[in-house]
A = this chain, B = another copy of it.
Amino acid sequence: MPAGLANAGLAAVDPAALDAADALASFRDRFVIPDAGLIYLDGNSLGRPPLAALERLARVASQEWAGELIRGWEHWLDAPLRVGDLLGSEILGADPGEVAMCDSTTVDFYRLASAALGARPDRRFIVTDRANFPTDRYVLEGLARDRDREIAWLDQDPIEGPTTADIAAALDAHRGDVALVTLSHVNYRSAAIADLAAITTLAHDAGALVLWDLSHSAGAIPVELAAGGVDLAVGCTYKYLNGGPGAPAYLYVRADLQSELRNPIQGWFGQADQFEMGQGFRPRPGIAGWLTGTPGILGLVAAEEGIRLSAEAGIARIRAKGVALTEYAIALHDARLAPLGFELGSPRDPDRRGAHVSIRRPDARELTRRMIAAGIVPDFRAPDSIRLGLSPLTTRFDEVHRAIGRIAELATS
């Protein structure tokens, strides 16, 4: 069936009707949106600010920092674990005490990958894919070099992402010699969803540990870390979780691995009796032992408000709207853009797709510039992709409709 025919019905639906039926429509009012005319399709890269985040920032600065001063640490000290538990229970399907907010995704990824290699000293290989997010790949390259390991790169389909069969083949090719399997749960470019539970099981069957990067899935699709038996995970909070530019990241370490694995950066926030400042590092029990240095409180409280909004909306409703928005965008793509030489760069099966859609054309870089000039903000991803992020809490169906119409105009003018 040629692209376009399947979704012709959906493409013809009035976006106002879809917005009227949107159970999450009112959440848009909880965000600061100074220019309602701007069509922002990059909430998957930097989410909009919750009103509550701005209020909280002002309060923390003027009352807590200025008024409580050093005494603020009486409650700030708990914040990385308090927010971690909120995120873990409401968004990540983790058990209490398995998630901490700290550092950046890059630093957390380094620490967990390093810990995993340390726990499998006699295994040579790290399995990951060439389409994985750059920072993960770069960190792994450094670790492979410094720890004398090797990366078994997967070159899977660029749209559909690594299948369980791809992973099984890699594990088989290096049978008994894979220390770590690490992938993005949702691919940053195509939005392909990897089968977290199946791949985790495959890795475990092969004796490897698994580390998931949840940056493009958390807050967009259900994540079930505990149910999937996942070992390790990291992610950022500045995308679908609306935590703010460079908001703190999080790490998840399954409870039984927290004392078995070793945090390579043992800092004073991971020390038992931190303020005794004694001799000899003794890790705090649990996930607290995976903290490192002093957490940035301004970024953390803003992120907490963003996470709270996603928790309040509920991941099931967020997912349902993400599917509806992306299905609508693809139907409009098929009807309006495919005839102009665009190709879809995301899976067509909504069960295999996160909350963004990539569309491809050779002139994508220039087209992105012209879209931004025309008041539509997507992301360009080299060499030929325009990424349309459809953040369920803030994106309206009408915006999707207008954006695709405008892209069609720009692509023919």
Binding site for B on A (CB under 8 A): 31-35, 38, 40, 42, 45-46, 48-49, 53-54, 57-58, 61-67, 69-73, 76, 103-107, 110, 118, 130, 133-135, 137-139, 141-142, 146, 236, 238, 244-249, 263-271, 274-281, 292-300, 302, 372, 377, 379, 381-382
Q: Give 22 A-B contacts (CB < 8 Å), ordered by A residue.
A: A32-B61, A34-B62, A34-B63, A34-B67, A46-B70, A48-B69, A65-B244, A70-B379, A71-B372, A104-B295, A105-B293, A106-B294, A107-B107, A107-B267, A110-B267, A134-B268, A134-B271, A134-B274, A135-B269, A138-B270, A249-B293, A296-B299
Chain B residues with CB under 8 A of A146:
118, 264
The answer on a CB contact under 8 Å between A48 and B61 is no
| C-alpha gap A146/B139 in the complex (Å) | 18
Query: Do B265 and A110 touch across chains, with their CB atoms under 8 A apart?
Result: yes
Q: Which residue of B lies closest to A271 (CB)?
A: B138
How far does the alpha carbon of A294 sit from the alpha carbon of B65 in the complex, in Å? 24
The interface residues of chain B lying within 8 Å CB-to-CB of A106 are: 265, 267-269, 292-294
A377 B71 Cβ-Cβ under 8 A: yes
Q: How long is the Cα–Cα vector from A247 to B137 in the complex, in angstroms? A: 28
- Contact flag A40-B53 (CB < 8 Å), given A268-B138, A281-B138: no
Contacts of A300 in B (CB 8 A): 246
Q: State how many angstroms separate the Cβ of A369 from the closest Cβ of chain B.
A: 12
Contact call A265/B69, Cβ cutoff below 8 A: no
Residues from chain B with Cβ under 8 Å of A62 in the complex: 32, 34, 49, 54
CA distance A244 to B71 in the complex (A): 13
Are A266 and B142 touching (Cβ within 8 A)?
Answer: yes
Cα distance, A275 to B104, chains bound together (Å): 18
Do A298 and B244 touch across chains, with their CB atoms under 8 A apart?
A: yes
Q: How far apart sit A24 and B244, CA to CA, in the bound complex (Å)? A: 36
Tell which of A247, A266, A269 has the most Cβ of chain B within 10 Å: A266
Q: How many copies does the complex hold?
A: 2
Contact B45 A135 (CB under 8 A): no
Which residues from B are CB-within-8-Å of A66? 31-34, 48-49, 54
Q: Are B35's CB and A245's CB within 8 A? A: no
Q: How far is the CA of A73 from the CA of B54 in the complex (A)?
A: 19
A275 to chain B: which residues have CB within 8 Å?
382
State the CA gap A66–B35 with chains docked (Å): 9
When chains A and B are docked, how far (Å) is the Cα of A372 from the Cα of B70?
11
Of the candidates A33, A61, A238, A297, the one having the most CB atoms from chain B within 10 angstroms of its own CB is A61
What residues on B are CB-neighbors of A35 within 8 Å? 67
Contacts of A130 in B (CB 8 A): 279
Bound CA span A134–B266, Å: 10
Chain B contacts for A110, CB-based, 8 A? 264-265, 267, 292
Of the residues B53, B63, B103, B118, contact of A104 by C-beta under 8 Å: B103
Name 6 extra pairs, CB < 8 A, besides A38-B69, A244-B296, A244-B298. A34-B67, A46-B72, A103-B107, A141-B281, A142-B266, A246-B296
